[in-house]
Chain A
Amino acid sequence: MTARTVERGLTHFLGLAAVVVVLVFLLAPVVVVLPLAVTDQTFLGLPSGRPTGRWFANLNRAEWRQALGTSLVLATVSAGLAVGLAALAAFKVAVWPAARSSRWLRGLVVGVLIVPPVWIAAGYFRIVGEGGAALLILPHTLLALPTAFACLWYGMSRLDPALYDAARMLGAGPLRTLVQVYLPATWNYVLAAFFVAFLASWDESVFALLTTGPKTHTLPKLAFESMRLDRDLTVAAANVVIGVVLAVALARLLRHVDR
């Protein structure tokens, strides 16, 4: 056996070991908590109770239905708005990368990540007090914008710059070039951007906790309150239902993005 073969085998083994360790670390919390959706225990621990469908039945209760509906609508609308804004910004940065304004815009959009959301939430609270779910659209769009922008910027910056010049020479205006050339050419990144923006809103809880009244529920807010105060595990059932759909969407999406 040559030294090169040993080196190759060793790096392969170490790489595999690193991937397995990270996957176990990432998946273990989900694997231990999801089965609680079908047991009757009301405490956090390894699943040990009798099988039951009560947490799934709870999803029919008004507050859970409202929370689920609100979170789905909120995430869809916020993700749509974030992708629209991100598409404009990413197009500007990808087509004119050397312009000072492009660098400025990039810093500004990515800079949203630096400001602690709780500080922004304090400002929203001062403006609107404890509002309804509709008032969450603006902050959710804001929080979803940097990740959607990163996806689209990555996708658009991979296109041949000559594509823009070709479309312009053929008579298309910049807006038409964006809508009819750039977005179709990067459609898998558009879907990825929508997906990550959707998840950013879907999982957001700070604004919901600090700036909405007691009658307004989003799923993460209700999950936080119910699991912390009542040991209600309906959230595990909700995550089984929606998580499976999102996981299938994720797998299909990655197949396209990876090409």
Chain B
Amino acid sequence: MAGVETQVGAVMGEHHADDGAAGDRRFGALALWVPTLFLGIGLFGPLAVAACDLPKLNRSALGDQAAVLRAVLLRTTAFAAAAALVATAGGWVVALALEQFPPRVRRAMLVLSLLPIVFHFVLRTFGLHVLLGPGGVVNSALVQAELVREPLPLTYSAWGTMLALVSWLLSVSVFYMYLAARHVPRDLVDAAASLGAGPVATLRAVWLPLTAPAAVMLYAINFALGYGTYMSPELLGGLEDITVVRLIAQLLREGRSPEAVAFATLATAFPVALFVLLGRIRRALARRGE
């Protein structure tokens, strides 16, 4: 805080003529509108342009494909929901487990868990191929141990998509939950211990309730990311495991932009609704934690 005081001291004496409340309002508006304007140009602009194709949509053609679209939506939701659950639970467990180690060990393990993100996702996915392919490490070990007769279809399958998604989401989940765990007041943990609570009771009474809101938010983020990702299902998914984004990309490649945009709009409503719902649950849990 000494540095902060120096900074505050550095601006001492340089009084501005502007009246405080008006300055706050002006800057508040600037801080609101500059990012909003950027999002307007960078996000909503392209979405609106893409939506211009909607009037060209052949509704009967879309209606004919309703069963296919429903199946793709359900499959993608199942992939994203399951991968988000595994990644969030994994991140939560590891973050809480790290709390029992000394700071140096904890930091080293955190660096190791984040290490994969500095390497390209494409490269990591090909690493998963080496591990999980028909002649890969996992299948060779399973066949040699005579646990299975033939290699399991772990790549170009639903399993491949799931494993790639979890591998992609897990590193950042560990970090996010780690920050949430660091936020838990230490005096509450000490108080629980001094009142005779063991590790399990402290986990149940302090750690879980106070980190649950972050876990709920993380689940929503992981779901949205898993739902909208292109690379994991493209590189490790099977032909019959097509997801929403693969279908949109395929429709775009075939020049069927109106159908792609209509389907994308329909598909995005789902994670948006989940985000709003989980946001409410997170706030309710946070209020209860307070």
Whether the Cβ atoms of B268 and A114 lie closer than 8 Å is yes
Partner of A167, one of B11, B35, B130: B11
Binds A, one of B23-31, B55-63, B184-192: B23-31
- Contact between chains at B34 and A88 (CB < 8 Å): yes
Known A-B contacts A29-B131, A91-B31, A170-B12; A112 and B118 likewise in contact (beta carbons under 8 Å): no
Question: Do B114 and A88 touch across chains, with their CB atoms under 8 A apart?
Answer: no
**Residues of B close to A115: CB separation below 8 A:** 43, 47, 228, 268
Is A111 in contact with B275, judged by CB distance below 8 angstroms?
yes
Q: Return chain A residues, CB-CB under 8 Å to B49.
A: 123, 126-127
Q: Which residues of A contact B159 (CB under 8 A)?
A: none
* Distance A158 CA – B202 CA, assembled complex (angstroms): 24
Contact assessment for A32 and B131 in the assembled complex, using a CB-CB cutoff below 8 Å: yes
The distance in angstroms between the C-alpha atoms of A78 and B111, with both chains bound, is 24
* Interface residue ranges of A91-120 to B (CB < 8 Å): 91-92, 96, 99, 101-102, 105, 107-120
Query: Could you tell me if B36 and A108 are in contact, using CB atoms closer than 8 angstroms?
Result: yes
Contacts of B227 in A (CB 8 A): 116
Known: A30-B127, A113-B225, A154-B179. A142 touches B107 (CB 8 A): no
A36 to chain B, nearest CB (A): 8
* B window 108-135: CB within 8 A of A: 109-131, 133, 135
A-B contact count (CB 8 A): 304
- Contacts A101-B28, A120-B46: A239 and B123 contacting too (C-beta < 8 A)? yes
Distance in angstroms from A42 CB to nearest chain B CB is: 13
Task: Say whether A166 contacts B268, CB under 8 Å.
Answer: no
Is B7 in the interface zone, CB < 8 Å from A? yes
Inter-subunit contact B20/A223 (CB<8 Å)? no
A165 to B: closest C-beta gap in Å? 9
Interface centre among B18, B106, B131, B261 (most CB of A within 10 A): B131
- Bound Cα distance A8, B258 (Å): 60
Contact among A96, A121, A258 for B103, CB-based, below 8 A: A258
Q: Tell me, rounded to whole Å, the shortest Cβ–Cβ distance linking A187 to chain B.
A: 9
Residues of A within 8 A of B152 (CB): none
Secondary structure at chain A's binding surface: helix, strand, loop or mixed?
helix
Chain A's nearest CB lies how many Å from the CB of B60? 22
Q: Tell me if A227 counts as interface (CB < 8 A to partner B).
A: yes
CB A72 to nearest CB in B, in angstroms, measures 13
- Whether A33 lies near B123 (C-beta < 8 A) is yes
A89 at the binding interface (Cβ < 8 Å): yes
Q: Is A126 in contact with B43, judged by CB distance below 8 angstroms?
A: no
Query: Is A224 located at the chain interface by the 8 A CB criterion?
Result: yes
Residue in B34, B100, B131 whose CB lies within 8 Å of A11: B100
Say if the beta carbon of A85 comes within 8 Å of chain B. yes
Among A16, A29, A127, A219, max chain B CB count under 10 A is at A29
Does the CB pair B133–A44 fall under 8 Å? yes
Select which of A26, A175, A185, A246 is within 8 A of B4 by beta carbon.
Answer: A185
Docked CA distance A116–B11 (Å)? 44
What size tier do the contact residues of chain A reach?
A: 35 or more
B287: chain A residues within 8 A (beta carbon): none
Complex Cα distance, B36 from A132, in Å, reads: 26
- Nearest chain A CB to B49's CB is how many angstroms away? 5
Contact of B15 among A19, A109, A171 (CB under 8 A): A171
Instruction: Give the Cβ gap from B44 to chain A, nearest Cβ, in Å.
Output: 9
* Residues from chain A with Cβ under 8 Å of B271 in the complex: 114
B43 touches A163 (CB 8 A): no
Q: How far is the CA of A44 from the CA of B133 in the complex (A)?
A: 9
Chain B residues positioned under 8 Å from A117 (CB to CB): 228, 230
Q: What are 7 A-B residue pairs whose CB atoms fall within 8 Å in the complex? A: A23-B112, A33-B130, A46-B137, A85-B38, A92-B28, A123-B48, A185-B7
Contacts from B to A (Cβ < 8 Å): 3-4, 7-8, 10-16, 18, 20, 23-24, 26-28, 30-32, 34-36, 38-39, 41-43, 45-50, 52-53, 90, 93-94, 96-98, 100, 103, 106-107, 109-131, 133, 135-137, 166-167, 170-171, 174, 179, 182, 198-200, 203, 221, 224-225, 227-231, 244-245, 248-249, 252, 257, 260-261, 264, 267-268, 271-272, 275, 279
Chain A positions near chain B (C-beta within 8 angstroms): 4, 7-8, 11-12, 14-16, 18-19, 22-23, 25-34, 44-46, 85-86, 88-89, 91-92, 96, 99, 101-102, 105, 107-127, 138-139, 141-142, 145, 154, 159, 163, 166-168, 170-177, 180-181, 184-185, 199, 202-203, 205-206, 210, 219-220, 223-224, 227, 235-236, 239, 242-243, 246-247, 250-251, 254-255, 258
Q: A116-B268, A167-B11 are in contact. List 20 more A-B contacts (CB 8 A).
A: A8-B198, A22-B170, A23-B109, A29-B127, A30-B119, A33-B130, A45-B133, A89-B31, A114-B275, A115-B268, A118-B228, A173-B18, A174-B24, A174-B27, A181-B11, A184-B7, A203-B120, A227-B122, A247-B115, A250-B118
